[in-house]
Structure 1
Amino acid sequence: MLQRPKQNEYDPYFLTYIDIVPDGDILHFLQLQQNQVNALFGKLSQEQGELRYKPGKWRLKEVLGHISDSERVMSYWMISIARGDKTKLLGYDQDVFINKGSFGKCSLKELLADFQAVRQATFSLLTTIAETAWLRAGNVVNKDVTARALLYIIAGHTEHHLNVIKIRSSIYYK
């Protein structure tokens, strides 16, 4: 079982995400989280998917698209570091991804299927990472981080957005 990353494995910038991942089996947590995303977004109507909790904030469909896009990007960072690539990895502009993505044209069912495919790809990737590779460090957006920490960041990023939706749930579930 993968252990929680130590503080020297990531920059404090990433602490927000790592801190909200519970102790225990990270793979089990990722599976439970996948089920939670299914349950949450699977019961929304198309109309609810278009809602924003506040003007200028992302629609629920865009949040789901963002979660998938971010997991794709972070999985690339994770494989690069785990495989020993020393390239300094660049970040991405989440707002450009939202604005240039076609999430508004997709149905919630399509966006949910996309998330499931991304999460399954992440699970598949995990089987190809050697145990010793989890502690390899690399550089992401000028911040040192291990492959193991990135897995926790992926889980924490998704959890962060699920928590925001739960807090704002009265907006979406009228």
Structure 2
Amino acid sequence: MKKSELVKGEIGDFYWGYIDKIPADAELVSTLKKNTAEFVEFLKTIPKEKWTYRYAAGKWDILEMVQHIIDTERIFQYRALSFARNENGALPGFDHDTYVLNSGAENRTPVDLIHEFEIVRESAILLFKSMTNSMLTNTGNMNDMKASARAIGFIMPGHVLHHISILNQFYL
């Protein structure tokens, strides 16, 4: 399925900021694969001393940011799976700052985080490859808004691109 098949109202307006970072003709699984490879290569170019840098007080360092991306990938996979399987219950939001604060990212290494991201993203790729078109278009309620499984799939690489932009602007 291609990003151009998504329609407004399939996901809350906030998330279009991530989805709009993806080209209209992009196919979901190939986009996830390409985004994974590009992000991993990007992370490998970051000097070791930069991983604990904060550009301002209270901002995440790169270790925390990558852990945040991993945590968010897991949450979005669960949401997409839930909707693909016709979950009727509303799924709650999450406080990303609390997750980062309690992540233990300061005890992780860049190599470890990069490896974990690759594995978590591979899980997402397999999940979305397994979904039929009907499953991809199934919707549910997440964080008090309607969302489809396929829209969530496109949020994921857009979220990574958002953080690459932040890294380039403020960290590197």
CA distance in 2, matches of 1:31, 1:54: 33
CA distance in 2, matches of 1:28, 1:130: 16
Using the TM superposition, give the Cα deviation of residue 139 of structure 1 relative to its aligned residue in structure 2, in angstroms.
Answer: 0.2
State the match for 1:10 in structure 2: 11
State the match for 2:57 in structure 1: 55
State the match for 2:97 in structure 1: 95
CA distance in 2, matches of 1:65, 1:30: 18
Residue number among 86, 107, 110 corresponding to 2:109 in the alignment:
107
Using the TM superposition, give the Cα deviation of residue 161 of structure 1 relative to its aligned residue in structure 2, in angstroms.
Answer: 0.7
Q: Tell whether the 8 Å contact from 1:46 to 1:107 is kept in structure 2 after alignment.
A: no
Amino acid at match of 1:104: E
State the match for 2:139 in structure 1: 137
State the match for 1:74 in structure 2: 76
Deviation track 1:99-124 (CA, whole Å, cap 9, x = no partner) reads 11111111000000010011001011
CA distance in 2, matches of 1:167, 1:28: 27
Deviation track 1:107-158 (CA, whole Å, cap 9, x = no partner) reads 0000000100110010111122122111111000110011111111112111
Amino acid at match of 1:8: G
Query: What TM-score do the two structures reach when normalised by structure 1?
Result: 0.92
State the match for 2:46 in structure 1: 44
Query: What TM-score do the two structures reach when normalised by structure 2?
Result: 0.93
Alpha-carbon RMSD: 1.3
CA distance in 1, matches of 2:139, 2:99: 27
Instruction: Show structure 1 runs of 4+ deviating over 6 A.
Output: none
Residue number among 25, 28, 35 corresponding to 2:27 in the alignment:
25
SS in 2 for 1:139: strand
Using the TM superposition, give the Cα deviation of residue 25 of structure 1 relative to its aligned residue in structure 2, in angstroms.
Answer: 2.0
Q: Tell whether the 8 Å contact from 2:137 to 2:150 is kept in structure 1 after alignment.
A: yes
Q: Tell whether the 8 Å contact from 1:78 to 1:151 is kept in structure 2 after alignment.
A: yes
SS in 2 for 1:127: helix
Q: How many residues align?
A: 170
Question: What percent of counterpart residues are identical?
Answer: 25
CA distance in 2, matches of 1:105, 1:152: 30
